[in-house]
Amino acid sequence: MKKSILLFIALLVSFFTIDRLVYLVINQFSSRVYTGQSIGKINHFLEVKDSVDLIIFGNSRALHHVNTNLFNTNAYNIGVDGTKLAYTGALLSTLEKKDQTLLIHVDHSKLLDLNYNGDDCLGLNHLIDDYDEIKKFIAPFFLSEIVISELIKSYRFNGKVPGIFKNYFMPSYEYRNYTGYDPIYPSVAQKEIFENLLLTEKEDRINININKPLEINPLINKIIDHIINKSQENDSKIIFFTSPSLNKVDQEVKDKIEDFFLSKGVDYIDYIDFFEEFNKDYWKDFTHLSAKGADLFTEELKGKINQIK
């Protein structure tokens, strides 16, 4: 038993030493990466966030639908694939600049998803040492994750390593000219998949992933309050919006969301039905616009923002 305990102690000591070393090495690479979504784009955003006037937050639908290059003002699109409102809330906590315009993308189904637990914000836990605001945002929801991240440092880079090294050695674009918008030019394979989907689609795409009776997720409610408070602190203008989608919702859902934002006293624009007629060239799939569709939508959004401001 004694020999086993000694071996176990050796394993523990060596593990914690190696863990710190691995963390230091990856962190060195990570902090020098400015391309790629999981790390580089966030680094870039954190560098420019307090010098731009307009920021677009959200998931892949924000990322691919709002062309920041079409705005006359200095803008950055920090949409990241697969993220939701908690991720936005955590990032938005780091803003210091006053008088910005903040566009927050929201989806009806996500606001009404009672199973959502905010775990997308854990994608930012590699920043908890450098950004206390992010740590403070994550901690109430995922204290155990923070504890594990403190104990096992390399845990913060789970799932991010291939992206870090790929973007360190082979950055896919010149980040200094990048404003965060990623246009979609559907590939042959993507076009093929979408065409097959259109052919096999049998049901109406209405109220997908929406359960009735309609209820706003309490966590989302809390995060939205946090976002509103933060924007008020910074005297920033905040606008929530939903971008075009072929996944439609009925009037009851639309009313529910509009009433919710009305009760919060913030602007909300619902563009889900922006394209009245279906044109295959505007879409990559049911929820993502092609670059062509995104440009048309951005022009409309730009006009509307100017009106609101």
Partner 1 sequence: MIFNSIVFLIFFVIVFILYWAIPNQKIKTQNILLLIASYVFYGWWDWRFLSLILFSTIVDYFLGIFIEKNKDNDRKAKLFLIFSLTTNLGLLGVFKYFNFFIDSWVDLWLLFGYEMSYSNLKIILPVGISFYTFQTMSYSIDIYRKQLKPTKNFIAFATFVSLFPQLVAGPIERASNLIPQILNKRTWGYEKFKNGFFQILIGFFRKVVVADSIGAFIDGTYNNPEIHNSTTIAVAVLLYSFQIYFDFSGYSDIAIGTAKLLGFDFKRNFNLPYFSSSITEFWRRWHISLSSWLKDYLYIPLGGNQHGIVKQYRNLILTMLLGGLWHGSSWNFVIWGLIHGILLAIEKKFQLIPKKYSFYNNMVIFILVSLIWIFFRALTLEDSMLILNRLFTGGYGMLYIGNINTFITLLYGLVIALCFDLFLFKKNIPLEEYGNTLKTSKFVIISNFIIVHIILFFSSASNFIYFQF
The Cα–Cα gap between 285 and 278 comes to: 12
CB of 64 to partner 1, least distance (A): 15
* Residue 219 CB, nearest approach to partner 1 (Å): 19
Looking at the Cβ atoms of 19 and 53, the one nearer to partner 1 is 19
CB atoms within 10 A of CB 48: 18
Cβ neighbours for 212, distance < 8 A, ≥ 6 positions apart: 252
Q: In what order do the strands lie in the sheet with 54-58?
A: 75-79, 54-58, 101-105, 237-242, 267-270
Binding site for partner 1 (CB under 8 A): 1, 3-4, 7-8, 10-11, 14-15, 18-19, 22, 38, 81, 144, 148, 152, 154-155, 157-163, 166, 187-190, 192-193, 196-197, 200
**Strand pairing report for 237-242 and 54-58:** unpaired
Task: Output 46 or 148, the one with its CB closest to partner 1.
Answer: 148
Displacement of CA 166 from its chain's centroid (Å): 21
Tell the smallest beta-carbon distance from residue 253 to partner 1 (Å).
Answer: 25
Query: Which residue, 82 or 140, has its beta carbon nearer to partner 1?
Result: 82
Output the CA torsion sign for 305, 307, 308, 309: positive
Q: In the bound complex, what is the minimum distance in angstroms from residue 246's beta carbon to partner 1? A: 15
**Smallest distance, Å, CB 113 to partner 1?**
17
Would you say 182 or 270 has its CB closer to partner 1? 182
Distances in whole angstroms, Cα of residue 154 to Cα of each of 40, 60, 118, 128? 18, 27, 22, 13
Q: Which is nearer to partner 1, 152 or 216 (CB)?
A: 152
Q: Which is nearer to partner 1, 60 or 88 (CB)?
A: 60
Q: Which lies closer to partner 1 via its Cβ, residue 20 or residue 98?
A: 20
How far is 57 from 65, CA to CA, in rounded Å?
Answer: 11
Q: Closest approach of Cβ 299 to partner 1, in Å?
A: 30
Q: Give the bridge partners for 103, in sequence order.
A: 56, 239
Bridge partners, residue 58, by sequence: 79
Contact 284, 190 (CB under 8 A): yes
Per DSSP, the three-state class of 205 is: coil
Q: How far is the CB of 188 from partner 1 (least distance, A)?
A: 6
Q: Smallest gap, in angstroms, from Cβ of residue 65 to partner 1? A: 19
Which amino acid would we find at residue 34? Y
Separation between Cα atoms, residue 284 and residue 298, nearest integer Å? 16
Task: State which residue, 165 or 271, has the beta carbon closest to partner 1.
Answer: 165
Closest C-alpha to 172, from 301, 40, 71: 40
Nearest residue to 103 (alpha-carbon basis) of 218, 243, 223: 243
